[in-house]
Amino acid sequence: MSKCTALLFISVVSGFGHNCIQYGTPTRLAGRLFVRDQSGYNQFIALQLQQPICTSRDRRKGLEWERGETGVREIQAGVYGSDEASDALRDRLERLVGYQVKVKGILFPAQSGYHRTNVQLGVESVDAIDPAGQQALHAPAAKFQPKEVAAYDVTINAARRLMIEAQDAAFKAPLIPADQYAPHWMTGGEVVYVNCLDGYERRLISTTEENRGICFDGDLCGFSAFPQKPIIIKFRCIKKP
C-alpha cells in the first residue's frame, strides 16, 4: 500500500469512525439557527453548525439503507409532536432564529421529500448562547394582523422563484406581506398548495395551466414547484358572511 493510499484509507475510516454521531442517539450541538428559503416555494429552519460533524447509521436498527454522512455543516431542525409542550418548544425554536444556540436532540437520515437536508435533527430542547438570544425569548411575539377588507385579489407567479402579490379588490391597494394573505405550503412531492386567510372563500379568476390544473373554487388550489414553464394563477378571496 502506497503512502497516499494509506492516508486516504485513514481519512475515510476516521470520517465514519467512533467520533461520528450515531443516528438515534441523543446529542448536543451548537450553531446558528436560520431560515433556509427555497426560492419562495418552501422555507425551513436549519442549524448552521459551529463545526462540521459526521454521522453513522444506527446499528441497533440494522437498516441497510441508512448511510452516514461526512462534512455536515447544515441540518434541518424540527419539533415533532402536536401536544402543548411541542408547540411551546416549536415557538421557542422559531424565536431563536438568527441567534447562536445550543440544541439537544436526535439525528436521523432524511426519509421523505419533506426532509430537505441529508441529516435531520429532531429537537428536544434549545437554549440561547448569548444575551441577544435570551432577550429574543422574552420579547413580545410579533403577530400578523391582517387588514380587514371585504375581498382581496391574489396573483401567483410560479417560475424559477415564487412571487405572490395581494391587493384590496375595491381600492387596489397592496396588502403586505402578500404571502401572509395567501398562505402556502409545499408537500414532499414538491406540489405547492395556496389558500386565502381563514374566514375568506377563494374564487378562481384565471390560470395559465391547461384544464385549470388543480385549482378550483373553494377547494384545493395547487401547482408544481419549480415549474419548467411559468405558471400564473389569479384568484379572489371573499369574506364569508
33-56: per-residue pLDDT in tens? 999 999 999 999 999 999 999 999
The amino acid at 92: R
Instruction: Count CB atoms within 10 A of the CB of residue 204.
Output: 17
Contact 182, 154 (CB under 8 A): yes
Q: Percent of the chain, pLDDT > 90?
A: 81
Quote the pTM value. Answer: 0.85
> Where are the domain boundaries for CATH 2.40.50.140 in the chain?
15-138
Q: Can you give the pLDDT at residue 19?
A: 85
Q: Can you give the pLDDT at residue 5?
A: 37
Mean pLDDT of 109-114: 93
| CB-count burial class (<10 Å; 0-12, 13-18, 19+) for 36 | middle
| CB-count burial class (<10 Å; 0-12, 13-18, 19+) for 146 | middle
Indicate the range of 57-71, 85-99, 122-136, 207-221 predicted with least confidence: 57-71
Q: For the domain with range 15-138, which CATH number is right: 2.40.40.20, 3.40.50.980, 2.40.50.140, 1.10.3720.10?
A: 2.40.50.140
Mean pLDDT of 204-215: 90
Instruction: Give the pLDDT band (50/70/90) at residue 64.
Output: low
